[in-house]
Amino acid sequence: MIITYYGAQFLKIQLGDLTIAVNPIGNDSKIKTAKFGADIGLISLHAPDFNGREAIAYGDRKPFIIEGPGEYEAKDVSIKGIAQKILYEKEEKINTIYVVSLEGVRLCFLGALESPDLDKETIEGIDVVDVLFIPVGMREKGTSGVLLPKEASKLGTTLEPGIIIPLYAGEEALKQFLKEEGAANTNTLEKLTLKKKDMEQKEGEIIVLRKT
């Protein structure tokens, strides 16, 4: 599979002819968005930075949209959504954590999570994580739907993924997160190409993707 990062928590996951979009940035967001056709769209939160379904419908491609908790099967892909109550921009909302099983690799997208303290039921629902996409930012600067660098590091330790990919709101937040992880010299990749065999012996490896 090929993983591309478009900023905020907007990701494209490609496997052959299959394209999955995660938390596409909407036209009403202040963040620059991208546009491409997807087969499946995952939306964690009903807010402009996360629910830009118009950004992933292109030409004849009209994505199957998943936007809440539950268990789904789409295009032979197994997807689990786990609900979390959060306070987003001073308003209580439901954030959905997604776990996607793709080519034998379990991907976990935390969405607009703002606390590293997940309850036992949520941790059991997430189960084994091969690749964890974790939101990192500086909330004191007004950024919502993110974990502080130290909180992100704590949650990474709790979930024990093979690979951690930070979805970062600003270079300062990324720098502090890498410092917490002892990974300050981590190189930044344009895209990540990943196969099941690549996960062997991975234990909390940090991979940084450049915003496209």
- Reported as a single tens digit per residue, the pLDDT across 57-83 is 998 889 999 999 999 999 999 999 999
Residue 142 has pLDDT above 80, yes or no: no
8-state DSSP, 159: H
Per-residue confidence (pLDDT) for residue 151, from 0 to 100: 96
Closest CA to 55 of 74, 70, 35, 79: 35
Cβ atoms of 119 and 155 closer than 8 Å:
no
Q: Residue for token digits 């939306």?
A: 43
Instruction: Find the domain containing 30 and state its range.
Output: 2-209
The domain that holds 114 is classified in CATH as 3.60.15.10
- Is the pLDDT at 143 greater than 80? The verdict is no
Q: In the chain, how many domains are there?
A: 1
28: left (phi over 0), alpha (psi -120 to 50) or beta: alpha
